[in-house]
Amino acid sequence: MDTPQTLVIGAGMVGSCCALHLQRAGHKVALIDPHPPGSQTSYGNAATIATYACIPVNHPKLLKSLPKLLSGSERPLSISPAYVPRMAPWLLSFLRHCRRERVDQTISALGALLRHAEDTTLALVQSAGAGDFIRRNGTLYLYSDANSRLAAQDDIARRREQGMSITEVEADAVRELEPALAPIFAGGILYNDGFQLSDPQQVIMRLVDQFAQDGGEVIQDRVDRIESAGLDQVTVHLSGTSKTVHHAVIAAGAWSTRIQGPVLDRLPLDTERGYHVMFPENLSTLSRPVGLADAGLYLSPVDGGLRAAGTVELAGLDAKPDPKRLDYIEQAARRALPSLKQRGDTWLGFRPTFPDALPVISHSSKHPSVVYAFGHQHVGLTLGAVTGKLVQQMIDRETPMVDPTPYRAQRFLS
Ligand SMILES: Cc1cc2nc3c(=O)[nH]c(=O)nc-3n(C[C@H](O)[C@H](O)[C@H](O)COP(=O)(O)OP(=O)(O)OC[C@H]3O[C@@H](n4cnc5c(N)ncnc54)[C@H](O)[C@@H]3O)c2cc1C
């Protein structure tokens, strides 16, 4: 094959969408990943295209509920004491972003991307022949008691301000929508436009198959280092070889800042780990994803059964999975859905997260040939397609569909 003009690093949802958008705009593109496409964080998530998810985890309410979240029996959030010293700067910055004015900036910047998520995702997924994985039945989000429902009103109003279509659902109506749920909820909301990809990895594989059929190169290797090769080229070092290209797009999710080189900025990326527990015999227990607001997880009907996915664990990329987190998810899922049968596979994934809960979609400040596309925290499946389009528009110097200012790397550089 001829040398590609553009190398996309990482074949998760974000990288695969970047590769397809760049190819369709006429670039000669290679996509590189040591693992099969869509097999890392984009594999085991809650599978929702969460077009409404503009409220970040670090939020004014987090500060008030932090002691309870960390020490109570309900623990949607956990922090590893051993990891705290290493992540202290990130954690302090994350908590500083709980201030109202910062959160409002995040909400409007996420909202701007999310407003394009439905159209761009549907168009890309359908054009790659993966439309059969789309399930459109809305997403239900439930509160365990009246206080938590009341406390959510402010967030509901902010989501509506961002243009999200929301129907409030009373407790009785919850069971009409999803009869398998236990009668323990004080009501909730239906996100009318939320939808699902019933098997995220299969969707990504179809995107990458389409990319390859249309002439894209798929390379199974790891990028270690990127160096300048002049004013408008960089040399990308793989494990045993190197490639000189006009553009290198870093979309390596939570591992993006492990790539080294003088053309890269130091960016404060860490990971919010999350887990899933599968219930393979519960294939048709729910007809749509159901979020349990107070437990911090989703019950999501996917192709392999019912997937209970979520929670946040701050423990870095290298710590082993904590079985207590899986037990917590299983117990919360069984409280909500008493008909759950035997537990099946479990999974740990690594959300890539910046302290302000916004991705970096931006040129490097050190070299114009390097473009960053990572840090999509809880919404990378949702924002992959819109990110891919934005990256293509930045590289081609077209008018961007969204003002890219809030996603610039420069916000972390002084
Ligand atoms: C429990 C849980 C539930 C979630 N639910 C949802 C949801 O319902 N909806 C939603 O929108 N989001 C959800 N998310 C978040 C979403 O899964 C992530 O934001 C998204 O998968 C990130 O995609 P990515 O492409 O950036 O990263 P990844 O999917 O992790 O892909 C990164 C790729 O880069 C590759 N890579 C790493 N280092 C290198 C290197 N040096 N060289 C080459 N390649 C490299 C990796 O092998 C990997 O394939 C959830 C996450 C979790 C953990």
Give, in order, the Cα–Cα distances in Å from 248 to each of 137, 254, 297, 321, 387. Answer: 38, 17, 35, 32, 15
Higher pLDDT, 57 or 221: 221
The band of 414, judged by pLDDT with boundaries at 50, 70 and 90, is: confident
State the Cα–Cα distance between residues 276 and 292, nearest whole angstrom: 14
Average pLDDT over residues 45-74: 83
| Statement: residue 71 has pLDDT above 70 | no
State the Cα–Cα distance between residues 201 and 11, nearest whole angstrom: 10
Strands (E), 159-239: 166-169, 188-191, 195-197, 217-219, 223-228, 234-238
Half-sphere exposure of 299 (CA within 13 A, CB side): 34
The band of 75, judged by pLDDT with boundaries at 50, 70 and 90, is: confident
Q: Does residue 9's CB lie within 6 angstroms of at least one atom of ligand 1?
A: yes
For residue 242, the 8-state DSSP code is E
Share of the chain above pLDDT 70, in %: 98
pLDDT at 72: 54
The band of 74, judged by pLDDT with boundaries at 50, 70 and 90, is: low
- Ligand 1: distance of its center to the CA of 351 in Å? 6
Strands (E), 55-208: 77-79, 134-135, 139-142, 166-169, 188-191, 195-197
8 A C-beta contact, residue 352 and residue 269: yes
Residue 348 corresponds to which amino acid? L
- Crossing angle, helix 380-395 and helix 100-114, to 10 degrees? 80
For residue 378, the 8-state DSSP code is G
State the Cα–Cα distance between residues 163 and 317, nearest whole angstrom: 35
State the Cα–Cα distance between residues 242 and 240, nearest whole angstrom: 7
Average pLDDT over residues 228-251: 97
Q: Does residue 42's CB lie within 6 angstroms of at least one atom of ligand 1?
A: yes
Min mean pLDDT across 61-70, 297-306, 374-383, 393-402 is at 61-70
pLDDT at 62: 85
- Ligand 1: distance of its center to the CA of 39 in Å? 8
State the Cα–Cα distance between residues 83 and 69, nearest whole angstrom: 18
Average pLDDT over residues 61-71: 76
- Ligand 1: distance of its center to the CA of 73 in Å? 29
8 A C-beta contact, residue 10 and residue 391: no
Q: Does residue 46's CB lie within 6 angstroms of at least one atom of ligand 1?
A: yes
- Ligand 1: distance of its center to the CA of 316 in Å? 15
8 A C-beta contact, residue 295 and residue 74: yes
Min mean pLDDT across 10-19, 152-161, 260-269 is at 152-161
The band of 2, judged by pLDDT with boundaries at 50, 70 and 90, is: low
8 A C-beta contact, residue 329 and residue 74: no
pLDDT at 386: 98
8 A C-beta contact, residue 305 and residue 278: yes
Atom of ligand 1 nearest to the CA of 350: 53
Tell me which CATH code domain 1-413 carries: 3.50.50.60
**Pairing state between β 346-353 and 270-279:** antiparallel
| C-alpha closest to that of 256 among 352, 369, 348, 355 | 352
Atom of ligand 1 nearest to the CA of 309: 1
Q: What is the pLDDT of residues 370-405, one digit of tens each?
A: 999 999 999 999 999 999 999 999 999 999 999 999
pLDDT at 66: 78
Average pLDDT over residues 232-254: 97
Residue 290 corresponds to which amino acid? V
Min mean pLDDT across 1-5, 100-104, 158-162, 289-293 is at 1-5
Question: What are the residue ranges of helices labelled H in 196-342?
Answer: 200-213, 323-336
For residue 66, count other CB atoms closer than 10 A to its CB. Answer: 14
Average pLDDT over residues 44-73: 85
Q: Does residue 32's CB lie within 6 angstroms of at least one atom of ligand 1?
A: yes
State the Cα–Cα distance between residues 138 and 48, nearest whole angstrom: 10
Q: Does residue 223's CB lie within 6 angstroms of at least one atom of ligand 1?
A: yes
pLDDT at 65: 77
| Statement: residue 3 has pLDDT above 90 | no
Which residue carries 């409002």 as its tokens?
Answer: 104
User: From the centroid of its chain, how far is CA 82?
Assistant: 25
| H/E run at residue 63 | helix 60-71
State the Cα–Cα distance between residues 160 and 166, nearest whole angstrom: 7
Atom of ligand 1 nearest to the CA of 238: 42
Q: Does residue 351's CB lie within 6 angstroms of at least one atom of ligand 1?
A: yes
State the Cα–Cα distance between residues 275 and 281, nearest whole angstrom: 19
Q: Does residue 11's CB lie within 6 angstroms of at least one atom of ligand 1?
A: yes
| Statement: residue 298 has pLDDT above 70 | yes
Half-sphere exposure of 253 (CA within 13 A, CB side): 28
pTM as predicted: 0.97
Q: Does residue 278's CB lie within 6 angstroms of at least one atom of ligand 1?
A: no
Q: Does residue 113's CB lie within 6 angstroms of at least one atom of ligand 1?
A: no
| Statement: residue 287 has pLDDT above 60 | yes
Q: What is the pLDDT of residues 84-143, one digit of tens each?
A: 999 999 999 999 999 999 999 999 999 999 999 999 999 999 999 999 999 999 999 999
Q: Does residue 12's CB lie within 6 angstroms of at least one atom of ligand 1?
A: yes
Residue 389 corresponds to which amino acid? K
Share of the chain above pLDDT 90, in %: 92
- Ligand 1: distance of its center to the CA of 394 in Å? 22
- Ligand 1: distance of its center to the CA of 257 in Å? 14
